[in-house]
Structure 1
Amino acid sequence: MGEQRQRYNDEFKKQAVKYVQEQTKTLPEIAEELNIPTGTLQNWMRLYRSFENEPVGNPEKIRQLEASLQAAEREKQDLQEELAILKKALHIFSKERN
């Protein structure tokens, strides 16, 4: 008839959530590794998640954010230089001529 549902105790659920928090793998990859449906693992994350052991972020995402911050900083410096040039030009052209 139907498949029997697998039951997990709270300790297993907490350990699975802790494992997810310590890994840099995606949730579906870990769910497959533990042979647990992804939705079930997501539910456990909502119930048992603590932010103490969780990594700051995905290393690739951190690199992308750093790159965009560097690009924004370069753009800011370029705009500051342009503004300084415009101020000098305004000063030069606004002088009275004799």
Structure 2
Amino acid sequence: MARKYQRYTPEFREQAAKLVVEGQRSIVEVAREYGLGETTLGNWVRKYRDDHAEDESSPELSERAELRRRVREQEMELSFLKKAAAYFAREQR
């Protein structure tokens, strides 16, 4: 027998997605709790994030991206300096 699709209200979809996004719970946990498919809930979470991404202002996003770039550069420099220090310490012996 063919299974009928169950329709969920937009409020229910948003509530379930909010549990994942803001509640630090996994998609699997929430999907099992509510009897949903993981893929279905994953789609709702992605849509929720897309809809609410506009809430953050553009200057905040660009500043965050700039800070992440600077952190990556500093991590690379630190790694290089650690290797150089180990090389010169080994050469002294």
Equivalence map 1:51-70=2 (5 Å) = none
Question: How many percent identity over aligned positions?
Answer: 33
Partner in structure 1 of residue 12 of structure 2: 12
Partner in structure 1 of residue 85 of structure 2: 80
Superposition deviation, residue 79 in structure 1: 4.0
Alignment pair present for 1:40 and 2:40: yes
Unmatched runs of 5 consecutive residues or more in structure 2: 56-77
Which structure has more helix as a fraction of its residues? 2
Q: Which amino acid aligns with 1:2?
A: A
d(CA) in 1 for partners of 2:31, 2:40: 9
Q: Which amino acid aligns with 1:24?
A: Q
Q: Does the 8 Å CA contact 2:14/2:48 hold for their aligned counterparts?
A: yes
Q: Highest Rg: 1 or 2?
A: 1
Partner in structure 1 of residue 21 of structure 2: 21
Q: 1:81 to 1:35 in 2, by over 3 A?
A: same
TM-score normalised by structure 1 residue count: 0.51
Could you give the per-residue CA deviations for residues 29-86 of structure 1, whole angstroms, max 9, x where no partner exists? Answer: 211111110011111122222357xxxxxxxxxxxxxxxxxxxx69954641542674
Q: May I ask how many residue pairs the two structures share in their alignment?
A: 69
Partner in structure 1 of residue 60 of structure 2: none
Helix, strand or coil: the match of 1:25? coil
RMSD: 3.4
Unmatched runs of 5 consecutive residues or more in structure 1: 53-72, 90-98
The higher relative CO (CA closer than 8 Å, separation ≥ 6) is in: 1
